Each structure stands twice: as structure tokens, then as C-alpha cells.
Amino acid sequence: MLNRRLGRTGWRVSEVGYGAWQIGGTMWGEIGDEAARAAIDAAIDAGTDFFDTALAYGHGRSERLLGEALRQSGERDRVHVATKVPPLNWQWPARPGYPLSEVFPADWIRECALRSRDNLGGDPIDLLQLHVWTDAWTAEAEWYETLCALRDEGVIHAFGVSANDHEPETAVGVVRSGRIDTVQVIYNAFDQTPEDELFPAAQAADVGVIARVPLDEGSLGGGFTAATTFGEGDMRRVYFQGDRLGETVRRVERLRPLLESGSQTLAQGALRFCLSHPAVSTVIPGSTDPRHVRENAAASAMGILDPTARLKIKSHAWHRNFYPD
């Protein structure tokens, strides 16, 4: 596993991290504790040292499972753990008209940070992120002063924001402001929009970039067909509803020759695409299957794509948003 610098934090983190949304067990179908632990252990064994979770994932369950697994493995001191403060109004995405006082008031940020710290086992949180964002809040003092105070008190080490789904432009201002250490954003072979403004801004401000949804909620893993069905409680039943799945599969098949070759799987090619942009610090695919976790991690050793291959993939950009408002 290769590593990269996470912006101005100065931390060296694994190029392929682990996204822990699935193990929360509320939006991806049921997953037992043992299965979640097996996936986390596979990531650790593969050299992953950056884990991303959130208080909203299973109302703290993902954090608790991750914290317990890391403690039992003896690897907590080696890894970096990132988590997120959910919006008080529980609205995804954030909108400019939402007052900060209704989304991230100081007492809510602090309460959630302390809850997350306890869920994770009591150690300081390496990276605390605000789980939604709009640049309408950038200049406001309350969120920033609260996060700075938590850092000064040793509750957290660094902080950042998570950009709205498929709206990277909503976080360009805060990246340029110099107030945050990291930004998390959807980036994959279909959604390449962060390259327009967000990535250049992050490079200029030395802000670490965490690329989420690099496999487009599983479609770029290459295992879906137009007849694929998803279980009860699996958010992909909504995400790929109607004719969305068929259209997605057709586009994936057009991409396949560019991302899959020889011993390289489609998923590995998709991850290499993300890692080929120099602004990206780490990608955080999520999986509950240890085989897929190991496969994802192995993409790091394959290196970045050559410029010609990357240029061909750029023509497959597909701007859309399947997430429900």
C-alpha cells in the first residue's frame, strides 16, 4: 500500500482507505458484527490506515464497531480515523437558506464530537468533518471557533467538511478560505466535476482531498446487470430505481475496456482513475466483503493511469444525481 500526504495535516495516509457507511447497517441492509469486523480486519491486513465513518451511520454503530475492531487489532495508534457531525436538522444536502444555527450550532458540534469520541473508544478523533456544507456559512464564526476549540482541547486533531452530493462547487469557498484541513467529495469516473474548481482550489490551499463514492455505489465494481435486485433496506433500491440501473450498466460496459485489463479488475481501474489526479489524498471505497476490500486495497500498488488512458475516460463523464433530496 502506497501513501500520500493529507494536505496541511502533514499525515501520510494510505492511498486506499476504508469507507464505513455500510457497516452502520441501516441503509445497506443488515450486516452482523462479525461480518463488519471481518471487513475491517481485511482492510487493516491490506495496509489501510485511513478509516472514514460518521455518527449518522447506524446512529453511532459504525463508529462503535470500528473503534472496537481497531482496539482489538492493536492498530489504533497506527491508523487515522475520520468521522462526521450530522446536521442538527437532519437534512442532506445543505442549502444556502438553512441558518447555521439550525444545522451546526456550537453546542451540537461539541455534543456530537464527544459522542463520536466515546463511540470510537475515547481517543482523540484524528479528523472531524461537518457532514454537509454550503459556502453560505464559510465566513460565520460559530462553526469555525467551535472546531478550533475542540482541536485546542485535544478532542480532535484536525477538521474539514464533506461537500454535498455531486455539488463540489458548494465547498470551493471554504477550501479557499484557509479554514479547513480537508474536504471530502464524490469523485469517480462518472462524476469528474471536482476537477473543475474544487481540486485546483484544494491544491492551492494545501487542503487534503478525500474522494468518496469512487465506485459509484457499486456500479463501477462491474457486477451489476439490468436485472440486478437489491435487498430490503438497501439504499441502492432507491438510488438505482426505474431505468437508472439499466442506463448505468450500459455506461459501465462502455467504460469496461478502459478500466479492466489482464489481472486488473474494473473496480481497481476505477480506483486508479481517482488516484491519478494529484489533488486526491485518499479514496474511501466501502465494502462488507473481505475479498473486495483486499481487491480495492491492491489497486494502490498498480500505480496511476497513464495520461492517454485517463484522457479517454474523461469522455465518459456523466453528470447526474441519483440521491434523493
pLDDT above 70 for 94:
yes
DSSP letters of 246-279?
HHHHHHHHHHHHHH-BTTB-HHHHHHHHHHTSTT
For the chain, which residues make up each domain, given as ranges? 3-312
Q: What's the confidence (pLDDT) of residue 289?
A: 94
**Terminus-to-terminus CA distance in the chain, angstroms?**
37
Query: What is the mean pLDDT of the segment spanning 152-157?
Result: 98
pLDDT value for 224 = 94
d(CA 205, CA 28): 35
Domain 3-312, what fold? TIM Barrel (3.20.20)
Q: What's the pLDDT band for 28 if we cut at 50, 70, 90?
A: confident
Q: Where residue 31 falls among pLDDT bands split at 50, 70, 90?
A: confident
197, HSE (Cβ side, Cα atoms, 13 Å)? 11
Between these two residues, 126 and 30, which has the higher pLDDT value?
Answer: 126
pLDDT at 325: 58
Given a cut of 90, whether residue 187 has pLDDT beyond it is yes
Q: What is the pLDDT of residue 27?
A: 72
- Residue 78 CB: number of other CB atoms within 10 A? 10
Give the pLDDT of residue 324: 67
Residues 44-59: tens digit of each pLDDT: 999 999 999 999 999 9
| pLDDT over 70 at 96, yes or no | yes
pLDDT at 30: 78
User: Residue written as cell 438553512?
Assistant: 98
Q: How confident is the model over 257-284, as a mean pLDDT?
A: 96
- Alpha helix positions (H), the chain: 33-45, 61-73, 106-119, 141-152, 172-177, 198-205, 236-239, 244-259, 266-275, 290-298, 307-314
Average pLDDT score, the chain: 95
How far is Cα 197 from Cα 313, in angstroms, rounded to an integer? 19
Taking 80 as the threshold, does the pLDDT of residue 25 lie above it? no
d(CA 51, CA 24): 14
- Rounded CA separation 285/43 (Å): 11
CB burial of 98-109 (b: ≥16 within 10 Å; e: otherwise) equals bebeebbbbebb
Q: Is the peptide bond before 93 cis (omega within 30 degrees of 0)?
A: yes
